[in-house]
Amino acid sequence: MGGVRTAPLWRFILPLGLGLPDTAGERELADRRGRHVPAAGAGASPGLHLGDSEPRRELRQQQEPAAALVLETLSGKPTEERKMMPEVPGLKPANPPVLPAPQKADASPAFSKMLPQRPRKHFRRGPPHLQIRAPNTDSKAGTQGDTKERAAAPGDAHQEENTQRTVISWRGAVIEPEQGTGLPLRRAEAPAKPSPLVTRMQKEPALLNERQEGVIEAFRHAWKGYRQFAWGHDELRPVSKSFSEWFGLGLTLIDALDTMWILGLKQEFEEARMWVSQKLNFKKDVDVNLFESTIRILGGLLSTYHLSGDRLFLRKAKDFGNRLMPAFMTPSKIPYSDVNIGTGVAHPPQWTSDSTVSEVTSIQLEFRELSRLTGVKKFQEAAEEVTRHVHHLSGKKDGLVPMFINTHSGSFTHLGVFTLGARADSYYEYLLKQWIQGGKQETQLLEDYLAAIEGIKTHLVRHSEPNKLTFIGELTHDRFSAKMDHLVCFLPGTLALGVHHGLPTDHMELARALMETCYQMNRQMETGLSPEIVHFNLYPPTDNLDVKVKPADRHNLLRPETVESLFYLYRTTGDRKYQDWGWEILQSFNKYTRVPSGGYTSINNVQNPHKPEPRDKMESFFLGETLKYLYLLFSDDQNLLSLDTYVFNTEAHPLPIWALS
């Protein structure tokens, strides 16, 4: 492989009893959910000039935001329009609005009694209106996964394109849910007649506003660098015009597939699809991180299957899911962090037998959906056993969980340390999202989520001086630290999503307050981009600023969490200021991280606009998440990946919400 990753974070953690790592070396290795991240690449060349962008016009008049989702079970009753949807030979459900859910042993019809009841203005049971620019292609193209490929992807990172393209079925088809079955893990069948909606989508390009066009331009610029200098490799190094490897599986390409589909980038998608068909091979003697590969690769393939209807992606997802299963073969059934997808040997890191809590509890959406689509129950059963185990563990504090869990004993370790940052954050996110994914029937998930939010409000919420910004700190053996990772900025969006689905309205008050804080974490920096970590002032400072940033924490990795939450806040409130804030951040990315030859780079110093110090690395999540959420934020179409229809995994890959049988 072309790149070497540095030693993972665990090598730097001292023996038990210490709190969160806070040194430059440790933080540089901590990705957004306790991930093993490569060290910074070579610095920028002396002559590097980062591009700028011009402000664009305001968006057209906003649409009325969708009202909160009603609490009763989603209906699977087909509309007349959906009855007319075409069936494409060789394909299964593409872009289903609601799907049959697996039967749950712990499902309770009384779950809605736990929730506050409130009226709703609108509730759409029909198909999501994916406004994707689509050519009018023959439906036979939908079977291209089973026919001979004729187009070639770029064969070398430094060669120009010389390809023929295979036209694929570019459809936003909505598939009717299967009716009247009580069996779990069943697949929906396609209606037989064409839909006027799909016909219109295939002939008429979506109307895009200028901000969405700005996102498309940014994506194409990023893709240009990846395609020319890193094609088929994991990550682009845009400054040195080279690449780095993590798993050697084309990570950026797979992570970006559904983004290209949503943005309507047909040519780019076709070429990437060809690479997946011809070059993506999971039979490799390579270790992958279970969590990272699940959310990026498995999640990306499943999402792209749902949006495109192309069975190639489902076949690849099933193959990859099978290769991840040895990770669950531990004494406690808490999975190891790493698994070799070629040999089937799973193991923890050499220096510990622990896994991080966020890693083992943030793979459930993907494994559950893989079981539902394939009918193979082992994926769902393995992932849900972890959830049930963690539910019963001692060592929590009012719903808050420690960061580490032992794969042999199955017990929490490093007790007394609580954070919503790296190594714990997406545990809370997936409690809510699994509940939503499963049709709101699994009350255990809801109970754990609600308890955790109360624990957060009790133990971690504070207000800064002098401007009283609401922030989330950390707790180490009952000692509070006013430190907040940028990663924590996922929380405003998660809270808003919960309120949209009927949870207490006071969660929205906290969401709004935290969203303001996350925006200020960007705005108060000279580049307009948030650092990795800030410390809030609990006492009036001399400089009248609420935040201070340590030199080791000044880097920005092109992270998505702030714009992710802006998307949710705009969707749930309709307040256009969240779109404006997102536009400011995109402009800052263009000004300080854009590399002229193609691609965007993480930077070392958000406080120095004259010397931001490019790190020569473009994370896959910049294309998979950051730009996707910006595009959705700038859209005023509430039905573009509706929150009533899809739930996004922690890598921003949309998966369908299940309907009840």
Catalytic machinery residues: 292, 425, 532, 561
> Are the C-beta atoms of residues 2 and 243 closer than 8 Å to each other?
yes
Q: Are 91 and 311 in contact (CB under 8 A)?
A: yes
From CA 315, how far away is CA 306, in angstroms rounded? Answer: 12
Alpha carbon 320 to its chain centroid, in Å, reads: 19
Alpha-carbon distance of 262 to 130, in angstroms, equals 8
Is 59 within 8 Å of 584 (Cβ atoms)?
A: no
CB 218 within 8 A of CB 590: yes
Residue 119, judged by CB atoms within 10 A of its CB (0-12, 13-18, 19+), counts as: exposed
- CA separation for the pair 637, 199 (Å, rounded): 19
Q: Are 367 and 377 in contact (CB under 8 A)?
A: no
In sequence order, the β-bridge partners of residue 418 are 475
> Is 2:244 a contact under the CB 8 Å cutoff?
yes
One-letter amino acid identity for 418? F
Instruction: State the Cα–Cα distance between residues 101 and 76, nearest whole angstrom.
Output: 11
Element (H or E) spanning 470, and its range? strand 470-472
Place of tokens 């089973």: 146
CA distance 248 to 589: 27
Taking the C-alpha atoms of residue 87 and residue 211, their distance in angstroms, rounded to an integer, is: 35
Locate 156 and state its tokens. 């070398």
CA distance 582 to 489: 13
517 in a labelled binding site: no
479 bridge partner residues: 476
Q: Please provide the DSSP assignment of 598-634 as one string.
A: S-B--BS-TT-TT---B-S-B-HHIIIIIHHHHHHHH
Q: Are 487 and 35 in contact (CB under 8 A)?
A: no
Tally the residues of the chain. 661
Tokens of 469: 């910004």
91: nearest Cα among 369, 368, 312: 312
DSSP H helices, 325-442, are: 357-360, 364-374, 378-392, 425-437
Q: Do you find a cis peptide bond into 335, omega within 30 degrees of 0?
A: no
- Binding positions for Ca(2+): 650
